[in-house]
Structure 1
Amino acid sequence: MSVLDTEIASQPQLWRQMVELAPAYCDILPSPGANVVLVGCGSSLHMAEAYAALRRRTGAATIAVPSSEATMMTLRSADMVVAISRSGTTTETVVALERVAGKVRTLAITAGSGSPLAAAAEESIVLPQIDERSVVQTRSATCVFELLRATVDEAGAAEAISAAEVALGASVPDIAGVDHVVFLGSGFSIGLAGEAALKVLEMSQVVAEWYPAFEYRHGPLVAARPGTVVWWLSPVDRRLFDDLATAGVRQVEFAFDSAGSLVMAQRFAAALAIGRGLDPAAPSGLPRSIVLD
């Protein structure tokens, strides 16, 4: 088993740890009524988007923005700014926290012990056990989401663990002839769909997109073709499903939590990469962390 395979397979066990750890961090994680802005880049941003959607479902004012787009007005409008970065060295995310130091309550979530991000934050959650040797993020991103999800949707977090176990035991969808993948989500699974698309693009260099499920009809559908796979992380809309099937588009759907479907998408992305002669764990030209001068 490769390093990447081991990291992907470790997710259910680590997710259990995250659910068990969540109560210990309740005093520093966002309170139910807090106005929260989350910042991150890449995989961290997608996990922030998913968590923000879950908090909004409870009525809590929460948004997720790319660290590079986090204006002072946006950051200062919050009761709390939460910054996510695997390494804790991502320049844009560190800068976003430094800009509001002492003005807004700040929390860093990272796998990087002694990182600049943790140093810039008022409080930090450091999770070295979720870190990876691979350049491409899998478990580090999903573990942060599972930790956060457990604070607002404990039942869903538990269901996700079971779903991930099922996903790891199931066969990977056929990769033959795939040259375009579209992930569809709704609610919090839109963020997970974005992360799934990023995994396919990073690992395999196959064109991958993501949309809210009902937005797919509004333009992007025209690019669907026989080489396209449409992957449902949201409940399937049968009318759209039937239209795509008529057009010869392959579709993937699973009857389990969308976080489990993301685990399957990670495996699918790795298989696509290997099928194209690429290293899914360390894509050419992709650094482990984006650190700008």
Structure 2
Amino acid sequence: MCGIVGYVGRERSLEVLLGGLKRVEYRGYDSAGVAVIDPSGVLHAAKRAGKLGVLEDALRAHPIPDGATGIAHTRWATHGGPTDGNAHPHLGDDGRLALVHNGIIENFTELKTELLAEGFEFASETDTEVAAVLLGREYRRLGSLVEAFRAVVGRLEGAFTLLAVHQDEPGIVVGARRNSPLVIGLGEGENFLASDVAAFVEHTRKAVAIGQDQIVVIAPDSVTVTDFAGNPAEVEPFDVTWDAAAADKGGWSSFMLKEITEDPTAVADTLLGRVHEGDVRMPELDGVLDGVDRIFFVAAGTAAHAGRLGVYAIEKWARVPVDVEFAHEFRYRDPILTPGTLVVSISQSGETMDTLMAVKYARERGARTLSICNTQGSSIPRESDAALYTHAGPEVAVASTKAFVAQITAIYLLGLELAKLRGTLTAAERQALLVELQAVPGKMLQVLETHERIAELAHWMADTRAVLFLGRHVGYPVALEGALKLKELAYIHAEGFPAGELKHGPIALIEPGIPVFVVVPSPRGDAELHKKVISNIQEIRARGARVIAIAELGDVAVLPFADEVLPIPLAGPFFEPLLAVVPLQIFALELASAKGLDVDQPRNLAKSVTVE
């Protein structure tokens, strides 16, 4: 959610901080602010509710001096509404200290009561200001920002990333994290802190991920990391594998449109190096899959839909029982976990708090953990026994597209690796499936060529108030994803159902003119299932619905009953979803665009949900 940037180096803090905030806008936010220590050693802060442009306008109207030390923040409101007063940074020590915060401090009420009793005053409704005032109090007592941090973090409960500067200690930024992301950018004569490498990748591609319960101090020529007790901590530097240009629109009208067109590349790059001589090859999973007798996928939102597809594929190929659970429900239902249980977390950012806590829960109870993730050095892979990285590149639009197809690809590779290990598919069978998977990017390109027709359909339906999506077998998760994309982007009622469930209640929603998308399985894959879906189409068409079918090229059985057919190339049953979801991504994008909505940053949503 919130974006955080810290900088120490040359006299260009505002340039770096505002540029960093621009690059993490995709995380979702409703206010922004900066704090800078000027060359004379005076702290200046500015903050505004609204988009980053509002803050930039305020800084043009009322400039603050630049400097070599500063912190910045984009806030997604939790405690207190999106107002100027609730925006970050918050101040302590009579305005000499500034602090920004990502996360939720669960015991802020008790701490605030304590500080009020001591005569401290507060200007906001936030939990963050409590941390700032507490830090200021401890600074006065200890005379050191680092030592004040140690005293404060030991008293905070919940999830937090904190960055702070004090005008009496120019030239350093101090940060701390617990259950919330923080990354160091290593420069030359300058160093960076951020919630996401995107904030500093235009300046350096050398990074270090801060571990759980650690404090970091950056100066222009040094970086120090310790645990909360002050003991030196080991760090693992890594190179960011993409550059700043990869996170730019590159001439596209939106990041989402750019990222949909990158669906084929995301699949191809996730396969790269993992298929060797016709068979799957993933040494990163060595030892993790031995003796696995049950699998849980834990995820939320779009990632959970990818997990649902994994249930079908892995049970079919590897003959292992598989369940998919919403990460936020997983640990509260006390699932049965054993040493033979593999808990597979799926997260684009690797920082989704619900998923992170599910992974920690699984490890504490003796299960094995595997992360499917798109972000190097993030928290969830570091907490897991192994990581299977997707290679979708930076995904900036809040609504996930290319990360989703990359996650499905990684899950299918996992399923084939398990099948090889367990001997449930022959080498020839695995090779045939891999050939089909490797053909998906080229077929996706064919689907992308239908964009113009889908755009026409979406603009025709711009006044639509509700849309239903139906699918059977692997088409059901695609229906769920299509509905989610429409809710996220177009703000209209959309629901996905298993087509067989139609007669058990949802058919009551069918009324004349309502659009219904139906994901039609190939008649070559399962003729009986295909017939049943055609029957479902006839049922809803008879009640006046407008049917938009997503069906393979040449499926003539659909033509008499569908008002529109969006064709996809021929593919095996498990690979159809990778193709069928692309028109639904395009449709959601175009319908939202027709309504004049922001497709990259939908209202109330954040790219990375880092609070529970």
- Taking only aligned residues, the RMSD between alpha carbons, in angstroms, comes to 2.3
Residue deviations 1:83-139 (CA, integer Å, cap 9, x gap): 011111111100011112261111111122221111211111234543311111110
* Deviation per residue, 1:13-72 (Å, 9 max, x gap): 221222334434266175796411110011111101111121122332111100011137
Q: Which residue of 1 aligns with 2:444?
A: 164
* 1:220-247 CA-partner distances (Å, limit 9, x unpaired): 1111223422112233522322232233
Q: 1:156 to 1:26 in 2, by over 3 A?
A: farther
Give yes or no for contact 1:21–1:147 (8 Å, CA) kept in 2: no
In structure 2, the partner of 1:47 is 306
Matched, 1:291 2:587: no
Q: Determine if the alignment matches structure 1 residue 249 to structure 2 residue 545.
A: yes
Aligned length: 293
Structure 1 residue 17 and structure 2 residue 278: aligned?
no
Secondary structure of 1:283's aligned partner: coil
| Structure 2 match to 1:76 | 337
State the TM-score, normalizing by the size of structure 2.
0.45
Q: Counterpart amino acid of 2:502?
A: Y
Equivalent residue for 1:91?
353
User: Of the candidates 198, 211, 218, which is equivalent to residue 497 of structure 2?
Assistant: 211
TM-score of the pair, normalised by structure 1: 0.91
Distance in 1, matches of 2:290 and 2:484, equals 30
Structure 1 pair 32–266 and aligned structure 2 pair: CA distance change class (3 A)? farther
> How many Å separate the matches in 2 of 1:128 and 1:12?
11
Distance 1:163 1:183, change over 3 A: farther
- Single out whichever of 124-133 and 278-287 deviates more from structure 2: 124-133
Q: Distance in 1 between matches of 2:401 and 2:465?
A: 22
2:363 matched to which residue of 1?
101
Separation of aligned partners in 2, 1:85 and 1:53: 19
Bigger shift: residues 5-14 or 233-242: 233-242
Amino acid at match of 1:229: P
Deviation, 1:270, is 0.5
* Distance in 2 separating the partners of 1:221 and 1:159: 37
Q: Which of 58, 61, 64 pairs up with 2:324?
A: 64
Higher relative contact order (CA 8 A, sep 6+): 1
Q: Which amino acid aligns with 1:76?
A: L
Higher strand share: 2
Identity score, percent: 22
Contact 1:111–1:140 at 8 Å: present in 2 too? yes
Q: How does 1:205-244 map to 2 (within 5 A)?
A: 205-235=491-521, 237-244=533-540
Structure 1 residues 207 and 227, CA gap change in structure 2 (3 angstroms): farther
Structure 2: distance between partners of 1:283 and 1:248? 32
* Contact 1:185/1:213 (<8 A) preserved: yes
Greater shift, 9-18 or 134-143, is seen at: 9-18
Give the Cα separation in 2 of the matches to 1:243 and 1:8: 33
Contact 1:183 1:194 in 2 (8 A): yes
Q: Provide the C-alpha distance between the structure 1 equivalents of 2:498 and 2:393, rounded to a whole number of angstroms.
A: 29
The answer for the alignment partner of 1:7 in structure 2 is 259
- Specify the code of the residue in structure 2 equivalent to 1:65: E
Native 8 Å contact 1:163 1:259 kept in 2? no
Query: Given the superposition, is the C-alpha separation of residues 264 and 52 from structure 1 closer, same or farther in structure 2, using an over 3 Å criterion?
Result: same
Using the TM superposition, give the Cα deviation of residue 158 of structure 1 relative to its aligned residue in structure 2, in angstroms: 3.9
How many Å separate the matches in 2 of 1:14 and 1:44? 15
Distance 1:249 1:163, change over 3 A: farther
1:92 to 1:50, Cα distance in 2 relative to 1, 3 A: same
- Contact 1:88–1:112 (CA under 8 A) maintained in structure 2: yes
**What is the aligned partner in structure 2 of residue 35 from structure 1?**
294
Q: 1:4 Cα shift?
A: 1.3
Query: Is 1:265 aligned with 2:584?
Result: yes
CA distance in 2, matches of 1:229, 1:31: 47
CA contact (8 A) 1:47 1:144 kept: yes
Contact kept, 8 Å, 1:168 with 1:263, in 2: the verdict is yes
Secondary structure of residue in 1 paired with 2:381: helix
- Contact between 2:388 and 2:410, CA under 8 Å: does it hold in 1? no
Question: Equivalent residue for 2:483?
Answer: 197
Question: Could you say what secondary structure the match of 1:107 adopts?
Answer: strand
Q: Which one has the largest radius of gyration?
A: 2
Query: How has the CA–CA distance of structure 1 residues 244 and 83 changed in structure 2, closer, same or farther, with 3 Å as cutoff?
Result: same
| Mapped contact 2:267–2:392 kept (Cα < 8 A) | no
Once the two structures are overlaid, the 10-residue window that deviates more, 41-50 or 252-261, is: 252-261
CA distance in 1, matches of 2:289, 2:483: 28
Q: CA 1:52 to 1:30, structure 2 compared with 1: closer, same or farther past 3 Å? A: farther
Assess if the C-alpha contact under 8 Å between 2:397 and 2:601 holds in 1. Answer: yes
Higher helix share: 1
Q: Secondary structure at the match of 2:538?
A: helix
1:132 partner amino acid: E
Q: Specify whether residues 193 and 25 from structure 1 end up closer, same or farther in structure 2 by C-alpha distance, changes over 3 A only.
A: farther
Unaligned runs of 5+ in 1: none
- Residue 278 of structure 1 and its aligned partner are, at CA, apart by 0.6
2:407 to 144, 151, 157: 144
User: Are residues 88 and 265 of structure 1, via their aligned partners in 2, closer, same or farther at CA, if it must alter by over 3 Å?
Assistant: same
Matched residue type, 1:164: M
Code of the aligned partner of 1:46: H
Q: Verify the 8 A CA contact 1:98 1:120 in the aligned structure 2.
A: yes
- Pair 1:216–1:73, CA change in 2 (3 A): same
CA distance in 1, matches of 2:435, 2:508: 38
What secondary structure is seen at the aligned counterpart in 1 of 2:496?
strand
